[in-house]
Amino acid sequence: MFLRARRYVMPKVKELYERSFLFIKQNPDIFIINQESFDKSLELYDSGAIVVMKERDAFGRRIFLCATRKLDTSKFTVDDILTLISIIFYTMLSEEETQKNGIVFINDLTELSINHLKLFPYKMLKNFSSYVNVNAIRVKEIYAVGVPSIAVQLFKAIRFVLDDKNKNRLKVMSNVSKMWEVVDQNLMTKEQDLKIKKVVIIYWNSIKLCSCTNKVTEFNFESENGNEFFIVAKIF
């Protein structure tokens, strides 16, 4: 959350923290982590619908892939999706290289259906924009690939609620071949990064050791590579 702090004076760091913490307080469903929600997040990750690719791109950026066709709308909710995304982002940001180079977020929407759209009401879009706009999550580019006609209005709404900087980062591709012009196709054939899952599990086990009950707690967690990162979670 305090990435690249050398670029900020303390008032800026304080402002970033306050905005991020306020967003967490206003959206508890995303950040409430208990055994049930965590197990659901791991199940969603294992499904391949939301994964982190093992290889980085040519600029050293992490590739975060969301594949609509693998998302079971009868099993997972929007809260499951946002919880997993939040956990993964904070885990990736424990990596110094990711802090420096950032993240590419690719959304494969080639088999998007009405059932998928029902998962994302306007309230969720507003919350998503707030999450992107107030958090230092280091997303450098967001690709939406193969957007069907039924989702055109959805992406107009997403673009509308983003700030100018993030509007420029959102790139809508008509088909997969367009994306290969800017993203190396070979990277998409690599297996997902199971190390990310391992670090997430270690993080969860560290939380369970906490004796706190039903209150917001701050954690400074040290990952395998020794980099420390900051997580706020509500514990039951």
- The ranges assigned to domains in the chain are 5-235
Q: What's residue 134's pLDDT?
A: 55
DSSP string over the chain: --TTGGGS-HHHHHHHHHHHHHHHHH-HHHHB--HHHHHHHHHHHHTTSEEEBSS--TTS-EEEEEEGGG--TTT--HHHHHHHHHHHHHHHTTSHHHHHH-EEEEEE-TT--HHHHTT--HHHHHHHHHHHHHS---EEEEEEES--GGGHHHHHHHHHHS-HHHHHHEEEESSHHHHTTTS-GGGGGSPB-HHHHHHHHHHHHHHHT----SEEEEEEEE-TTS-EEEEEEEE-
Please name the residues in contact with 64: beta carbons below 8 A apart, sequence gap of 6 or more: 50, 51, 52, 53, 88, 89, 92, 103, 104, 105, 106
Taking only the tens of pLDDT, the chain with its 236 residues reads 445 545 556 777 677 677 777 777 776 766 667 778 788 888 888 888 888 887 888 888 888 888 888 888 888 887 788 788 877 877 777 788 888 888 888 887 777 777 777 776 655 555 565 655 555 567 788 887 777 776 667 777 777 767 777 777 777 766 666 666 666 666 665 566 666 666 666 655 554 544 344 443 343 334 334 433 333 333 32
What is the rounded radius of gyration, in angstroms, for the C-alpha atoms of the chain? Answer: 17
pTM: 0.65
The CATH superfamily of 5-235 is CRAL-TRIO lipid binding domain (3.40.525.10)
Whole-Å CA distances, 156 to 4, 112, 151, 173 = 31, 16, 9, 14
Tokens of 56: 């980085």
According to the model, what pLDDT value does residue 116 have? Answer: 74
Could you give the strand order of the β-sheet that contains 170-173, starting from the edge strand earlier in sequence? 50-52, 62-67, 103-108, 139-145, 170-173
**130 and 23 Cβ atoms separated by less than 8 Å:** yes
Residue type, 228: E
Cα–Cα distances in angstroms (integers) from residue 115 to residues 32, 63, 67, 81, 187, in the given order: 25, 26, 14, 15, 29
